[in-house]
Structure 1
Amino acid sequence: MPRRVVRRLQTTLGRRGAFLAILGTGKTCWGIGMIVAPQPAPQGLRLLLEMCPLSSWAWLWITCGLITTASAFLRVGRDWAGFVAALIPPTVWAISYTSAVVTGEFTRGGFLAVWYLTSHVGVIMWAATVPEHSVPHVPRPARKGRPG
């Protein structure tokens, strides 16, 4: 029974969908973590915190994560919203860290901005261009006839 469920889930999601499901789950968990155990003074995020409290930004991660996860179950071509939603939080974080470097508030922020732009934004943009390939099923061996 569990094998059938896993096989059906793999068939339903495909490669792009699996990527979106993993990414969306991670973003949702990251946002929940900011609400459950917020940092007292997150360095480099002053630009964001001047606009909204950290809990509001956590809800951005959660919402985008849920959209990304839900898009995993859509067909290729219709899953674009998941990739767009996945790009929003790390792009916002990269902008905030870049701003912190420019203002001199957090010099390490430049490395964090590059990290978000490469390991998050870059990977998401690459994955959005990866085509979904249908791998042919392995043929089952022929059944032996019953002695009659």
Structure 2
Amino acid sequence: MRAALARTWGRLGWRGLALASSGVAWISYGSSIAIQPRYGTVRGISVLLDLMCMAAWGWLWIGAGLLALGFSVARAGRDLVGVSAAMGPPLLWSLAYALGGLSGTSSTAWGSVAPWASHALLVAIVAYLTRPQVIVPRMVARGDE
């Protein structure tokens, strides 16, 4: 059992864990807004509802979650699609809530801007801190040898 856990952790690491947990969260959240969206969510992101219905937005979240979950086992540097999928929907939601607050469609939308944006920021921080290190040989100028 320990060996299996060690292999799994060796494959995932912190970066993969961030993508996997985001993926599961987005699949869950997308399912909830596709099936039974909350009134506050609909009101807060009303600026997006001219583009697609809530069920379609829910499926977009589910799709992003599946991508993030699928790319969680990819090596760092080859998982940029998964990182984008983990960051994209919460950034879009943050922007939609900001626009909803500014347009006056929801007086409480401003309260959802920072929580959604912070998730995307945390994924970006983990992705940055776990990026592959590129080793570039030092160039030696002629005469410096």
Gaps of 5+ in 1: 134-148
Q: Is the 8 A contact 1:15 1:132 kept in 2?
A: no
Residue in 1 that maps onto 2:106:
106
Q: What is the TM-score normalised by the length of structure 2?
A: 0.82
Q: Give the drift of 1:132.
A: 6.3
Structure 1 residue ranges (4+ consecutive) displaced by more than 4 angstroms after TM superposition: none
What percentage of aligned pairs have identical amino acids? Answer: 27
Q: Give the distance between the partners of 2:115 and 2:120, measured in 1 at CA.
A: 9
Gaps of 5+ in 2: 133-145
Residue in 2 that maps onto 1:137:
none
Q: Give the drift of 1:32.
A: 1.2
Question: Are residue 17 (structure 1) and residue 5 (structure 2) matched?
Answer: no
Q: Give the distance between the partners of 2:36 and 2:92, measured in 1 at CA.
A: 21
Q: Give the drift of 1:65.
A: 0.6
The structure with more radius of gyration: 1
Residue in 1 that maps onto 2:125:
126
Q: Give the drift of 1:78.
A: 0.8
- Higher mean C-alpha deviation, range 52-61 or range 4-13: 4-13
Q: Secondary structure at the match of 2:43?
A: coil
Q: Secondary structure at the match of 1:43?
A: helix
- Higher mean C-alpha deviation, range 106-115 or range 37-46: 37-46
Cα deviations by residue, 1:48-74 (Å, 9 ceiling, x for unpaired): 111111010001111111111111111
Q: Give the drift of 1:131.
A: 2.0
- Higher mean C-alpha deviation, range 52-61 or range 99-108: 99-108
